[in-house]
Structure 1
């Protein structure tokens, strides 16, 4: 259904996009560095789930319908920015509750997984990415366009999961290099990442 040449080109383009720094990469790295590989893997799985959801929305045509209504873009990005600021606040509160000189308590993997998925879904750039990127590799002449989108989307989600999982594990290794009193520093850095991502999201324009 999908030609080999298209799959090769799609794989190369997907790899280039994954290597480009972005909110998902920052989310995984900050959690892996602050709380270890388990947290990094949970964040990677959340992103993978969000990718699958966006694939389904794109195949159903819902993503294009949402993007066609301009206020939807602003609504999603402002809700996303508020959510990230809330995460930054929660991270700082958790850090404040830890013992002096100790490390903040690790968050449950399920909570990180859900937060990661929500964070990715509330990024309007992800919606536009799936709406614009995936259709470029669809071959209408071969038929079954929605199925082609699902196949390509699942391949991208799998590649994204593997990439972010490796990133989460590698970033966790930096945590082991920190001294015993650096746990709070990592959590504060994580809160700063959330705040900066919120600012970036709030300042986005649909044309960028």
Structure 2
């Protein structure tokens, strides 16, 4: 057997010099990689024959960039291009509810940072989840108001939910200006929808429109299976 090395693409390149035991180990490593790793589209992952499925297989989805591990008879997302979405404020009018929680997730009021989200469905008055797991949800808010309010993130909430139904709920506190931010961890399932809710204390408080200097945003990022 000839000696070998890998080129910049990771492909094995053979020469005519045999080095023992290094070359034997290289061959064993290649066989191990072929045994435990797979790659293909997200659809291909579902087409692996049952007889080839076993705990410990790693599958890289070429269309999504996600990496899955086969564990306890199921696939678990473990890395790669995991979901993240940061929605920044536009100049569309937006107000908190007047002494009640109001949905402030209107599509016109938010646009994705750098014009892209990753791993979520298309934004439609909220963020549709496509990948289950534990997420960090977060928000940062600035009001045109002389009083404060409350803001939080709901999961599959409609109508006028109470604060106990929201995650990362916290005050937008008035001092010289009305500012607030918060984050929390929450377990989400595929097809869950995240929405942003606000409560105006004593009035319907306008949420400031975008400027280049204001860190007005909300969103979520995947953390763990």
Looking at secondary structure, tell me which structure has more strand per residue: 2
TM-score over 0.5 (shorter chain): no
- Superposition TM-score, scaled by structure 2 size: 0.22
Looking at secondary structure, tell me which structure has more helix per residue: 1
